[in-house]
Structure 1
Amino acid sequence: MAFLSRMKQSFGSTFSFFTDSWSELKKVKWPNRKELTSYTLVTVITVVFVSIYFTVLDLGISELLRLVFE
């Protein structure tokens, strides 16, 4: 009997979680199309610059190690 009450309690908390999550999502101010486009552009540009930075850093360290160990 204790098992069934625990199952009921866990399902109740799961449904409560989804209900609370849905109500919180209704409070969110979603970006409009222009904001979303600008945010996406900033994200893509940032990822490109960080990728270039780490690529150059990796190539520099690799070249330095090649010079040291040869």
Structure 2
Amino acid sequence: MSETNNGNVKQKKSLVRFFREAKSELKKVTWPSKEQMVHNTLIILVFIIIVTVILSVLDLGFGKLFQMLTSLFA
């Protein structure tokens, strides 16, 4: 029974140590400013829109091509 309690105590201590170290590491992070976050978010949204348009055009083109090929050989 004492081995089980000893194992639980070690697990709790290691868990506490993990969170303490994680908190310490997060204090070292240089967080972006609000302006940087807004700017980066806008860049990502524009990129997503561009990729969406490109994929939509490709999908439409391949769909039309497939329709033409199936009507040609059917």
Band the TM-score falls in, shorter-chain normalisation: 0.7 to 0.9
Alignment correspondent of 2:24: 23
Alignment correspondent of 1:33: 34
TM value normalised by structure 1:
0.76
Residue identity (%):
30
1:6-21 correspondence runs (5 A): 6-21=7-22
Query: How far did 1:42 drift?
Result: 0.5
Consecutive unaligned residues in structure 2, runs of 5 or more: none
Q: Deviations over 1:7-66 (max 9, x none)?
A: 444444333332222111111111112111111110111111111111111111111111
CA distance in 1, matches of 2:51, 2:16: 41
Question: How many pairs does the alignment contain?
Answer: 70
- Taking only aligned residues, the RMSD between alpha carbons, in angstroms, comes to 1.8
1:44-63 correspondence runs (5 A): 44-63=45-64
Shift in CA distance, 64/7, structure 1 to aligned 2, threshold 3 Å = farther
The one-letter code sitting in structure 2 at the alignment partner of 1:42 is: I
